Amino acid sequence: MSYARQMLDTYPRDFNVDTGVLAATIDALNDCIQACTADVAADLSEQNVAEMVKCIRLCLDCTDVCAATAGVVSRQTEYDANVTMPLLEACTAICKSCGDECERHAQMHEHCRVCAEACRRCEQACRELLAALK
């Protein structure tokens, strides 16, 4: 069981959303942060780095937005739809863009294939949390 799930299970307050959905989203966000951070480093080691520039930029943006979303979603301050909803929308959008770009390089670079998968899973998880919150 992930630490995200263990921590949610021991949280002293109730959530307005299913704990399993919440934990799955946090896990997907953390996986995506790690994959994008590592993919930037891997892209920078490639001979064709000039062709990887867009991928690097999107991975950097994706890391930043996923990190903010993981923090806000983990904290469950009080459910503030004005913050959480657009943040999850921004996160879904960057995971989609980043996943698309990584996929373009997936055949040439295995690390981009793995990163695309992490982005797709995170995009899907954020969509499910958005739906659950609505």
- Residues at the site binding a second copy, with contacts judged by CB under 8 A: 2-4, 6-8, 10-13, 26, 30-31, 33-35, 37-42, 44-46, 49-50, 53-54, 56-58, 60-61, 64-65, 67-68, 70-72, 74-78, 80, 82-87, 89-90, 93-94, 96-97, 109-111, 113-115, 118
Give min distance, CB of 22 to a second copy, in A.
Answer: 11
Q: Are 42 and 125 in contact, with CB atoms under 8 Å apart?
A: no
Give min distance, CB of 108 to a second copy, in A.
Answer: 11
Sorted by sequence, the CB contacts under 8 Å of residue 68 that are 6+ apart come out as 87
Distance, CA of 30 to chain centre: 6
Task: Tell the residue number behind the tokens 């959905």, with chain if given.
Answer: 21
